[in-house]
Amino acid sequence: MKDSFLNRMTWLHTWLGLVLGFVLMAAFFFGALSVFDREIDRWAIPETRFDPQPMPSFDTLLQPVYARLKPHPVDMAATQQRVIGELPHPDTLPMSSLWAYTTHRDPLLQIGAEFDVPNKLKDDADEHAHVHGWATIDPRSGEFLHNNKLKIGSEWFYPMHYQLNWAWLNLGAWLVGLAGFTMLVALVTGVIMHRKIFREFFSFRPGKRTQRSALDLHNLSGVVALPFLFFFAFTGLVIFAGTLYFPVGHTLLKPLHEQHEVLEAQRTGLPHEPSGVAAPLASVDAMVAEARRRWAARDMPGEVGLLMIEHLGDANGYVSLYRAGSDQVALVGQAIHFKASIGEVLREEPPPSALGSINEFLTGLHLQHFEHWLLRWLYVLGGLLGCVCIATGFIFFVEKRKRKHADSGSQGSRVVDALAVATVTGMLIAAIGMLVVNRLLPADLGGKGDWEKLAFWVFWIVALLHALVRSAPVAQARINPAWREQCRGIAVLAVAAVGLNWLTTGDHLFKTVFTDTYWAVAGVDLSLLVTAGLAVWSARKLAQRAQTHAAAMAAEVAHG
């Protein structure tokens, strides 16, 4: 009975990990890169390489910027499909709300707005007949930055870890969610399988054959990173549960949701609808000063991280200022709301309830908006340990079966091994290759970001094809040479990225570390060089192991 239960757990752990491990590998690897997404952005867009800036003056800098902000053509086209009749010219649409967002790590300012449209909606169940506009600006001058510059860290690597950049019908996010649930099951079944978990913490035998070493490293990385892996899989599911996976507030409970919004507006004193009476906007800078004073009085001085204005130009308009709580792990807002027309405080958010505090802490731990740099690097280490755990699971699966498959003529191990190569080393090639292309393409090239995205997928597809073409030795119970060849490719690309950054911007490591210290760029360059060194070392070890394995097989044949 006991053995039967363990066998079932082993089967579940193996096959769930194999089928969705490829998705989990991407989620953890790009999640690790996302810890420093803003720094990767600055490496990819040299003109943004200046110090992070606080929220600029609204009255003198941002107000003229919003006067120049227009509805985005993409959202104009999307909204046109939802309404009856032709939309008016974008220059004639009145702005009804706006927002501005910055972080302690971002030198740029993200801004956006909603513009009212007079058209009726085609679907009565649809909401918000608005067109959105958005832009990225230089907070020092208010200058708009060109939209063709892809923020590789925050706009590509970051969404890659939770939706695989597959937005159609949210299938990417659903797939990652399924993989996250699978991760929880795999962790539980893994603990059940490995009952002597403490002993396995100290069991790593790199000198043994590949199957034994891979299993030891799989167990070791899984034990060390177990709390991290469980926490991130769980909180990722919780964060998306109410907004994507089970959005009952906008479906089954939509009438109650709408009623709750009205009641919440009455309770907080924040108007739910505009009054229809025009009113001017008072000094937002004075409201910011008052918010800072109130935060300081509560012993939590800080800057504004998010600024929002609802019902702009209306007597019911209000300004919401959210504190940039980067000094805390919990994702807190500590918002203060002002009447837009006179600057009077309408509401100061009270401390959250016990349940709300837990939610803010768990969300903040996952999204890591805090300033603690050592903790950030521990996040990177945890994400990479998750990748090691998954990758060694692939290797163990192949090593355990490839001799049997070779004897029977099965191609199963060969296919799994090729997919593992493409997922592990191929993913690195795609990410670093994208950085190389970013530095090779002219800065003023139209649609540069689209070319960089295309390069990412081309590098990854080529890595997969290479792994498949070179996988024939696996069908003979030997090591796929694609592993070491792609490691060498990683090393070449990583060094090339660092060199091209130097040649195209002049920001070499001596400058960014010593003479004109700029750790955001230096950190990316140093990480690339460390990656190149590890890739060279891995290629050498793989070559030695392949020689040893070939010699052992030759001896076996000679004695056969």
| pLDDT tens per residue across span 436-468 | 999 999 988 888 999 999 999 999 999 999 999
For residue 337, list its beta bridge partners: 320, 347
Q: Please report the pLDDT score of residue 250 as a whole number.
A: 61
Count of Cβ atoms closer than 10 Å to residue 7 Cβ: 11
Instruction: Judge whether residue 2 has pLDDT over 70.
Output: no
Does the pLDDT value for residue 242 go beyond 60? yes
- What is the structure's pLDDT at 207? 63
Contact 164, 23 (CB under 8 A): yes
- The pLDDT, as a whole number, for residue 202 is 54
First CA to last CA across the chain, in angstroms?
41
CA–CA gap between residue 217 and residue 224 (Å, rounded): 10
pLDDT digits (tens, 9 = 90+) for 73-95: 999 999 999 999 999 999 999 99
Threshold 0.85, pTM exceeds:
yes
Residue with tokens 């689209």: 450
| Model confidence pLDDT, tens digit, residues 194-220 | 666 556 555 666 666 777 787 777 878
Q: Among the ranges 3-17, 163-177, 524-538, which has the highest mean pLDDT value?
A: 524-538
Least confident of 304-313, 352-361, 372-381: 352-361
pLDDT band per the 50, 70, 90 thresholds, residue 520 = very high
- Most confident residue range from 101-105, 319-323, 407-411: 319-323
Task: Identify the DSSP state of 121.
Answer: B
Domain coordinates in residue numbering, the chain: 51-151+261-353, 409-560
d(CA 281, CA 302): 24
Structure tokens, 381: 């280490």
Confidence (pLDDT) at 211 = 78
Per-residue pLDDT at 404 exceeds 70? yes
Q: What pLDDT, on the 0 to 100 scale, is given for residue 506?
A: 96
Q: How confident is the model at residue 548 (pLDDT cuts 50, 70, 90)?
A: confident
Q: How confident is the model at residue 420 (pLDDT cuts 50, 70, 90)?
A: very high
pLDDT over 90 (residue 372): no
Percent of the chain with pLDDT over 70: 91
Dist CA 154 CA 197 (whole Å): 37
160 vs 214, higher pLDDT: 160
